[in-house]
Amino acid sequence: GNSVLYHSVIALDKSIVQELLEHEARLNEKDIHDLLSHVSILIHNSQQLDQYFDCLTCLFQYRTNFDDSKISKYFIKQLAEHIVSHTSVVSSLILKHAFVRLKYLFALSLYGGQIPLRRTTGKWCAQIVCDTHRQINLSDVFKQLTSTWSLKHILRIKIKQSMTIFNRNELRKSHLPQHLQRFLAFDYL
């Protein structure tokens, strides 16, 4: 079955999603596939689509569910394909808004370090441009972010990510109570 976190995202309740994420709620593989297919239900209503993307933004900000780059890339690529598959039945205004929100999710995952800043990511962006018949261009976002970021900023992201992983692993070994581990892990900085 689906998790409680999945049901709160589908209910479009951002506050419950945030609360669950603060308690380290996780999505399972079925949840991720079902979240993607749920786009087809919401794509006709811009307000619901906006709330859906707000919930997805929370999922990407807390990073517990999208800490693996393969999962993040898969989710963003599939989401792009799902949105593009509805181009003939949805107004162009709603589609443009969905594309902007998708680009923001991608930028957030780059900024948070879920998707690495490598050449392969640039090639992956180009593949999405081809797959979506040039309707979604994530290459622009990738170029924009990497050209404005300094090497110092990129290193800061990589160091922060490795410190977080190291800190989380060390805290697990220390056998502290769960609430102290969460407090000391500084996952949400």
pTM of the model: 0.76
Ranking 94-98, 104-108, 177-181 by mean pLDDT, the lowest is 177-181
Place of tokens 């003939």: 88
Average pLDDT over residues 66-83: 90
Q: What is the mean pLDDT of residues 129-151?
A: 78
Read off the amino acid at residue 77. Answer: K
pLDDT at res. 151: 63
What is the DSSP track for the chain?
A: ---HHHHHHHTT-HHHHHHHHHTT----HHHHHHHHHTHHHHTT-HHHHHHHHHHHHHHHHH-SSS-SHHHHHHHHHHHHHHHHTTTTTS-HHHHHHHHHHHHHHHHHHHHHTSS--SHHHHHHHHHHHHHTTTS--HHHHHHHHHHHS-HHHHHHHHHHHHHHHHHHHHHHHHT--HHHHHHHT-TT-
Q: Please determine, for residue 61, whether its predicted confidence score (pLDDT) is greater than 50.
A: yes
Q: Is the pLDDT of residue 188 over 70?
A: no
* pLDDT digit string, tens, across residues 23-53: 888 999 899 999 999 998 998 889 999 999 9
Res 27: pLDDT: 92
Instruction: Name which of 129, 39, 112 is nearest 72 in CA terms.
Output: 112
What would the mean pLDDT of 61-89 be, rounded to a whole number? 87
Question: Hunting for tokens 């581990």 — which residue is that?
Answer: 181
Q: Among 98-102, 106-110, 146-150, which is the least confidently predicted range?
A: 146-150
- Whether pLDDT at 86 is above 90: no
Mean of the per-residue pLDDT values of the chain:
83
Has residue 189 got a pLDDT over 60?
no
What is the distance between the alpha carbons of residues 105 and 99, in angstroms, rounded to a whole number?
10
pLDDT at 181: 66
Residue 171: CB atoms within 10 Å: 16
State pLDDT tens for residues 143-168.
777 676 666 666 677 777 677 666 66
